[in-house]
Amino acid sequence: IRREHLLEDGYVQLGALPREKLKGTIRVEFVSELGLAEAGIDRTGVCKEPLEDAAGVFKEFLEDAMRAAIDPQRGLFARTAQRRIYPSPSSGVAEHVPDMSRRLLGKAVYEGIVLDAALADFFAAKLLGKPGSIDDLASLDPELFQSLQLVKSYDGDVEGDLCLCFTVDEDVFGVRTAVDLREGGSTMPVTRENRIEYVHLMADYRLNRQIEAQSRAFVAGVHSVVPLSWLRLFTTPELQRLINGDDAPIDVNDLRRHTRYAGGYNELTPTVRDLWRVVADFSHEDRALLLKFVTSCSKPPLLGFKYLQPPFTVQNETQRLPTASTCFNLLKLPNFKSRAVLRERLLYAIRSASGFELS
């Protein structure tokens, strides 16, 4: 996989795998533009560890590829006001990138890998075979929801005052088109007698019909890895937790209990002890930044750090600033002589990174 072409290369490679192979171990090797294999990757450029941890490298690929796929600039996914994703109505279903993203999401759920990719609730429910209902509209389009509530409760002359008909304006690449909500909708006014039908048809269009093809294709891709019968064991909130993790505060004691050490460090090393004192004093936001800095995800595993693979590891490092190898969940921590300096340098590193930019 070339890093500059994650989605395109990922589609070619994963597309060649039969469905049953997607449930097995997938080994990823990153290569340069010249096709030369990298020795591993961290935020300092090329990492010195061998590619011996297939799970760790695949996790990094999966997280990076999903992050690229849901980037708003690609136009494949749209976001609600709460920044939760759903298929963009203007995205095509024949494109290879959406095809790969849905298979990767299924693989993440199958492997228990938490992603920074929160689905809109109405869209997550589709993975369970449930269509969106009018109650879901408030999270997708608050203004439309309020407008429909007004139509539903309006006491005046609905037809004469509101001047509505059974159509919705669709904007596709700057071209506005009227779409009938039902047969003959353009010539059918909304009245007091039929306004409830109008409200439900409008909600159904925004939540279901408008993205029907994209949603059907996405759901089929996820179900090719995780069967619907499995997913139906969960409620929509539970499925959201499987995909996007838990919003509960990070348990520092649990993280510490399941951390490994390398490069001469151990639990009693002064720098390690200082590290845990510093992290214990961190705000919830800074703890999340630290976790994202090291693992590429700001949320802990659903069942605790015992199940983080590869395990969270702290290794001695000779550089001036802490760095990380996200594919190995490895924090490279210099042997600082002062707790104050350790805190200052660690905060600088995790706050400057904001993801993957820090080298």
Q: Is 163 a catalytic residue?
A: no
Residues in contact with 357: Cβ distance below 8 Å, sequence separation at least 6, in sequence order: none
Contact criterion met (CB below 8 Å) for 56 and 329: yes
Stated as kind and residue range, the H or E segment containing 12 is helix 6-15
How far is it, in rounded angstroms, from Cα 64 to Cα 7? 9
Active-site position among 47, 165, 297, 327 = 327
Across-strand partners of 42?
A: 45
Q: Are strands 313-317 and 330-334 parallel, antiparallel or unpaired?
A: parallel
- DSSP code at position 309: S
Residues in contact with 194: Cβ distance below 8 Å, sequence separation at least 6, in sequence order: 188
Place of tokens 């007004």: 150
Angle at 254 between CA 249 and CA 257, to 5 degrees: 155
Question: How far separated are the first and last CA of the chain, in Å rounded?
Answer: 21
Residues with a catalytic annotation lie at: 327
